[in-house]
Every structure is written in C-alpha cells, then in structure tokens.
Structure 1
Amino acid sequence: MPREDNYRFEVPAHFPDPTYTFRNNEVTEDGFKLGRALFFDPSLSRDGSVSCSSCHVQTHAFADTWLHPFSFGVEDREGKRNAPPLFNLAFHREFFWDGGVTHLDFAPILAFESEVEMDLSFEEVVGRIRRNSEYPDRFKKAFGIEEVTGPFVLHALSQFMVMMVSADSKYDRYVKGDKQAMNSQELHGLTLFRRHCEGCHQEPLFTDLSYRNNGVQRVIIDLGRETVTEVPQDRARFKVPSLRNIEVTSPYMHNARFETLRQVLDHYTDGVSDQVNIDPSVFVDGKPVISLAADEKEAIIAFLKTLTDHGFISNPLFFNSND
C-alpha cells in the first residue's frame, strides 16, 4: 500500500527547482486520487470511448505506442502529432510540441476540446462530473467545495500529473554516487552524449526546453512553434523532448517518423538537410554537424537505455484504481 508521504511532491536532489505553482495547488492524497480517477475516465470524452490514459500509457512513460503513432480520439479520429510522454512536468514552463500552453493546469482543456481527441467542451466536461454520482463528494473531500467548478477539475488533474516524477534510472543512481550503476559501454556513451547531444538535451531533465528545427520534416507541412508565436523564425521548430525513458517511448519525433533509436542517430549523421530555420547544432555549412561511427552510435544507445526508470513505469501509485 502507498504510504501517506507518497502523495507529497518531492524535488529530486539533483533536479532544478520546479516551475509549477504549488502554492496554489498543493498535492494531497485526496486530490491526487481524484485526478487519477479523472485521468482514466472515458466518460469525459464525447462518446465515452477514450480517456487521457488512452494516449498516455504508463508502461510507455505515459506516451503512446506504435499502435497509435499519432494522438487519437473519438470515432478513431487521428491527430497530426505523436502524443508526448508525461513525466517531470512540474519542471516545465510550456507544454505540447509547440508550447501552446504555458501552465500545466490548462493543458487538459486542449485534449478535452480537440475534435480529434476527446471532442467535448470543457463546460460539458465539468457538467458531466457534477452529474456523476461519486465525483461531487470526492471534490468536496479534496478541496472543501460544495460545487464542482472548472478550476478544481484542472487542479485535480495537475495533482496527478505533477507527481509523475522520473528520477531513478541507472543514470540517476550513477550521478548520485553509485559508480557501479553503469558499465563501460554505457559510460563511453555518456561521454559521447555530452560531446554531441547535450547542447539540446541538457542534464538532468535531458531537455533544454527550447524549440528547434532538427530537419525531421522532409517537407515542412507542420509549422510547429510558428503556429503559436506567428513569428516566421519559429517555423518548423518544436520543443526539444526529454530523452528520459526514451527506450520505451517509440515512435520518435513530433511526426512519429522513426521507430528505433538507431534511426534517430542515423538521421542526425546522414539524414539532415538544409532547410528554413534548420538548427545550427545539427546542420551548418552544407553538412550535418554530428559525425558518429557505428560503434559510437551503439554506445550512445546503450547510454540512452540507462535513462529508463523502471520504477516509474511500473509504479502502482499511477495504476487505474477505484479508490
């Protein structure tokens, strides 16, 4: 059974300070469990067929699988981007591939109201929760409110999501002092990673939270960050994803272009070509910046697999539960 202190948010010692506004929404056991129930509830979609968990699967670090390379929703409708994993969200400033949401509390609204996902107005989401036989009492217990309102629905979901902290991989144990946690190939991969990859994928979150065009679109059909900012310099730029749990979050890139980590590395060494706003860290002076031999790619892949947090992807705290 989870202990009471399992429902308190704790910052890993080697992590930066969180950006989430806990002063407005401190995690409690009742709030967390309520958010978990909402996360797994398909009745909050128009036809009752999908929930948040439909596209965010715990065994895949709350990402989707190759069964659904793009986000999907009611009536088997399909989106245009890969559903990103969910973890360490308390440390992010912006959300989604294009950063279109600037606070975690508001992120679920886009999924609820997207016609290719849950296709239900947020007003009706709140209405269905109010009419549910169990939810009003649970909201009263969690937040002390007499009537369910939108902000508290979002607070409950955030309490569940901010607790998705992934910080106990082999890599984490190594940096915290267990020098036997990684073998020689993995350590060689770490050295190569820091030389070639850390400019964008900075430790310990393994993202610098920036937006970049890494040339993954052969022809630019998704404007990415430009859709949000309306700045031409942001065309085809997407948020740099975290590489934590990358072993279990295939397919890769916003357009689900690659199935394997080897394909990703092959792209950076041989597949990038010049295009508008191409990031200089991957392509400059008419050629790719990164050069890796086959054995170096294997070493980097071995290191990337040390970022898998097996305790996180199997933690019963995040299982669908009726309590």
Structure 2
Amino acid sequence: MLYRKIKIGSIVTAALFAFSCSDTNDSYQEPLPLAGVPDNFPHFVDSKTNPLSADGIALGRKLFFDKRLSGNNQVACATCHQQSLAFSDGFALTREGISGNALERNSPALINLAWADNGLFWDGGSNNLESQAFAPLAHADEMHQNLEELLEELNADASYPRMFEKAFGKAINQADIVKAIAQFERTLISGNSRYDKYVRKESGGSLDQNELKGLQLAEQFCFTCHAGPLMTDNLYHNNGIDDDFDDDTELMLKRGRARITGSSGDLGKFRTPTLRNVEKTGPYMHDGRFTTLQQVMEHYNSGILDSPTLDPLLKKNGKLGIALSEEEKTQLISFLKTLTDYEFLSSSRFSEL
C-alpha cells in the first residue's frame, strides 16, 4: 500500500531506548577515530551512546541509500540528500516523498554534522542525529514507514542481519537502525575546498583578486554568524525574511526557534546553515524562497524586514540590511564559490555501496 499507518508508540519506545540510556558505552567495539578531519577543524567528540565503528558506518551507509526504509520502497534518505548537491536536493520544497505533497521546509544539506551540537532541523527540533532520523521515517509526506514492517524487510535481506550483529552485537532493532545512519552522517566531512587549501597554504589554493575581495566582504559581513572553519555558529537568527510570525497551524512552523523554546524572543529565528558548498545547496533559506545567490545578496542589501527579533547586525545606525554595490555582490558570490568541495561531492566514501 502507498500509505502506511505509523505506530507512534513504537517510535517513542525506540527513541527512549536509544537516547535516554546512561553514558556507559555498551558497544563491544573500540571507538573509531573520525577520518578526514582537517587540522583546522574543532576537536571531534564522539557520542558516548553511539560511538563510531567501521561496521556501524558501513551499515549506516547501506541504510542511507536503501529505499526499503520508506513505506512504498521508493524513497531513501539519499532521495532528498544527494551527494552531488552536498546532500541537499535542489528543490525549494521537495515533493519527492512518499505522498507527493510538498514538504514545509527546505531539505538541509548534510555537511559536518559531527559538530552539530545545538539542535537539528531548521528550528532545532531534534537534539541529535539519532533522534532526528526517526522523523522522516515516520512522516506521512516523507518516508511514512511502519517500523515493525521495516524490521521484517531488513531481516529478510541476505546481508542486514549479519551487518547489524557485527556493528552492534545484536539482532536488527529500531534504535540501531537510526544509530547506524547517524554514524554514517557523522563521516560526511567537507573541508577540502579551494578556500580551505588557501587557508592551509596548500597546492591548488590560490584565490584571484575578485575572490580575495569577496573574502574580505565575507569577513566583514558574513563570518559573524557563518563562523569559524565550520562556517556556522550553530545558533539561531532572524535574518529579516519575514516580519509576521502569527501562525495558527498545527505545527506553527513560521515561529521558527520559538516553536521549540516557547520564547517570543526566538520568533522568526532559524538555524544558521553552513556556507560550505553553498553554490550547490540552493534554493536558499528555510523555505527555499531564494533560487539564486544573487537573490540572497539582494535580500541582505535591500530586502530586510524589521521585527523585534531581527538580528542586530542587520539593523545598524537605524538602517536595515547590508549595503552592497553590484560589484561587491559579484565579488562576494565569487568568494562563496571557492567554498565548493568537489572531493566531498564525488568521493566514493560517501556514495552508494
């Protein structure tokens, strides 16, 4: 059947089992260092309840591309998170899920999530990658899978029972499905763009004058929020794309971070996405309203809408936005394109087995 009834009780039970356990690591495997971390990146702190292992990563990689995780066996995690697009999907609001209905949020890119320590989804509605993975599995417009039926399908596979036994030392279960996916997602490290090579003074890291000028503009106007080597502060900001957050719908998605915190001070604030691979991750903003980087530049230049929670950086000296000339917009975009990590977009480490 196209539509499946999701047993919410089983999801909650699995989530509690997986993520409310003690800090004691009950895995029999030795933790595996995260491979491919650039020297200038923050130190990686592994999960105490789901430490990386070679077998766990391999299992998560297989599950990430497996369409059997959806109720109609037509949608995988990779359907909306495509490697060539930095694990985004190129749609403003995708209709690639099981129902064919447009989702209410733009599919975020999956980049350097090993350091995503302050909530996931655009409003921070999930605390970690493990709990996050349950949401699309259950969502009626995304994968809409009956998790008990999924266990039957995976157990019928020739390789999955053995892979789960190797990775977690036990039979296939709901909690370890999302643990494995989370392990694979933590390996999706992007830090080898031309800009990175420039910073590290490596071969292939030259920037032309236009790009260097764009870098100066980014340092002046962008890097406060798109901060550090991860190019995100992992915080939530109102960047002036709306000024009315009244929302009487069931999910209250217009409220942004306030939907989670209940604080009026968080109205219209959304998670800062990384600038890494930004050339490949459009359309932009939480609802994909801007198709091009040029439109994003124009928003910050002349499209800022004022509201009580607007980020102060966008309202200085009584003026809204960031004044940019046409030349400066071009220079800034030229720099942003140096953040494309072509190795990340094509590496066989992240592709389907």
Q: CA deviation at 1:81?
A: 0.6
Deviations 1:260-315, CA, capped at 9 Å, x for gaps: 11110100010012124111111356532411111111111011001000000001
- The RMSD of aligned alpha carbons is 2.1
- Mapped to 2, the partners of 1:293 and 1:162 lie a distance apart of 39
Per the alignment, residue 63 of structure 2 pairs with 38
**1:29 aligned to 2:65?**
no
1:83-108 CA-partner distances (Å, limit 9, x unpaired): 00001000111211011111112111
State yes or no: 1:55 paired with 2:85.
no
> Which residue number in structure 2 is paired with residue 291 of structure 1?
323
Q: Equivalent residue for 1:257?
A: 289
Which one of the candidate residues 213, 221, 224 is aligned to 2:238?
213
Cα separation, 2, equivalents of 1:271 and 1:215: 8
AA matched with 2:288: A
The Cα of 1:123 is off from its aligned counterpart by: 4.5
The answer for the alignment partner of 1:175 in structure 2 is 199
Q: Residue 243 of structure 2 contacts residue 306 of structure 2 at CA under 8 Å; is this kept in 1?
A: no
> Given the alignment of the two structures, is residue 241 of structure 1 paired with residue 273 of structure 2, yes or no?
yes
Identity %: 38
Secondary structure of 1:64's counterpart equals coil
1:221-271 alpha-carbon deviations (Å, 9 max, x no partner): 511111111111111110011000000011000010111111101000100
Are residues 1:269 and 2:301 paired?
yes
1:16 and 2:42 correspond: yes
Structure 1 Cα separation of the partners of residues 349 and 36 of structure 2: 15
Identify which of 215, 226, 233 aligns with 1:190.
Answer: 215
**Which deviates more from structure 2 when the two are superposed, residues 127-136 or residues 107-116?**
127-136
Structural mapping, 1:95-174, within 5 Å: 95-145=120-170, 147-174=171-198
Q: Which residue matches 1:319?
A: 351
Separation in structure 2 between the aligned mates of residue 84 and residue 92 of structure 1, nearest angstrom: 13
Contact 1:20 1:104 survives alignment (8 Å): no
Q: How many residues align?
A: 313
**Contact persistence 2:257–2:267 (CA under 8 A):** yes
Q: Does 1:202 align with 2:188?
A: no
Letter of the structure 2 residue corresponding to residue 182 of structure 1: L
Contact 2:120 2:127 in 1 (8 A): yes
Matched letter for residue 210 of structure 1: L
Q: Distance in 1 between matches of 2:241 and 2:149?
A: 38
**Which region of structure 1 is more displaced relative to structure 2, 279-288 or 260-269?**
279-288
Structure 1 unmatched ranges of 5 or more = 1-5
Instruction: Tell me the SS of whatever aligns to 1:296.
Output: helix
**C-alpha distance in structure 1 between counterparts of 2:153 and 2:133, whole Å:** 16
Matched-pair contact (CA < 8 Å) for 1:20–1:91: no
Q: In 2, Cα distance between the equivalents of 1:107 and 1:20? A: 17
1:115: Cα distance to partner?
1.4
State the distance in 2 between where 1:17 and 1:154 align: 24
* Worse overlay, 124-133 or 190-199: 124-133
**2:130 partner letter:** D
Q: How far 1:316 moved relative to its partner?
A: 1.1
The SS at the match of 1:74 is coil
Deviates more, 1:248-257 or 1:173-182: 173-182
8 Å contact kept, 2:50–2:183: yes
Residue 282, structure 1, aligned to residue 314, structure 2: yes
Separation of aligned partners in 2, 1:126 and 1:171: 44
TM-score of the superposition, structure 1-length normalised? 0.90
Change (3 A) 1:308 1:31: same
Aligned residue among 86, 96, 99 for 1:75: 99
Cα distance change of structure 1 residues 102 and 20 upon mapping to structure 2, 3 Å threshold: farther
- Cα deviation, residue 172, structure 1: 0.6
Q: Is the Cα contact below 8 Å between 2:71 and 2:98 reproduced in 1?
A: yes
C-alpha spacing 1:8/1:287, structure 2 compared with 1 (3 Å): closer
Between stretches 211-220 and 103-112, larger displacement belongs to 211-220
Tell me the CA shift for residue 10 of structure 1: 4.3
Equivalent residue letter for 2:128: H
C-alpha deviation, 1:29, in angstroms: 3.0
CA positional deviation for 1:127: 4.4
Deviation at 1:143, TM superposition (A): 2.4
Shift of 1:189: 0.7
Deviation at 1:7, TM superposition (A): 8.7
Alpha-carbon distance in structure 2 between the residues aligned to 1:13 and 1:247: 24
